[in-house]
């Protein structure tokens, strides 16, 4: 499930900065909302992580499948 090979994959490093920027941007611009609803920070963090890993693994799967089919 987890391997250090992930950190050597350039897809990981391509996807990571946009997801961090989006998370920080939402956190900064919606900070008043998060002060009123602190549980939403955890939900946002969880959704961001899930979306990142789903995107990464889907991209890896499709890329590996194309490489095998060629």
Give tens-digit pLDDT for 17-41.
Answer: 999 999 899 888 988 888 888 898 8
Torsion of CA 11, 21, 50, 67, to 10 degrees: -10
What is the pTM (predicted TM-score) of this model? 0.81
Res 8: pLDDT: 84
Res 2: pLDDT: 63
Better-scored residue on pLDDT, 8 or 4: 8
Better-scored residue on pLDDT, 30 or 50: 50
How far is the C-alpha of 69 from the C-alpha of 42, rounded, in Å? 40
């Amino acid at each position: 499930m987890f391997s250090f090979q992930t950190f050597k994959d350039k897809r990981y490093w391509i996807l990571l900065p946009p997801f961090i920027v989006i998370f920080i941007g939402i956190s900064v611009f919606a900070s008043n909302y998060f002060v009123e609803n602190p549980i939403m920070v955890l939900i946002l963090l969880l959704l961001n992580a899930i979306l990142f890993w789903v995107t990464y693994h889907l991209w890896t799967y499709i890329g590996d499948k194309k490489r095998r089919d060629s």
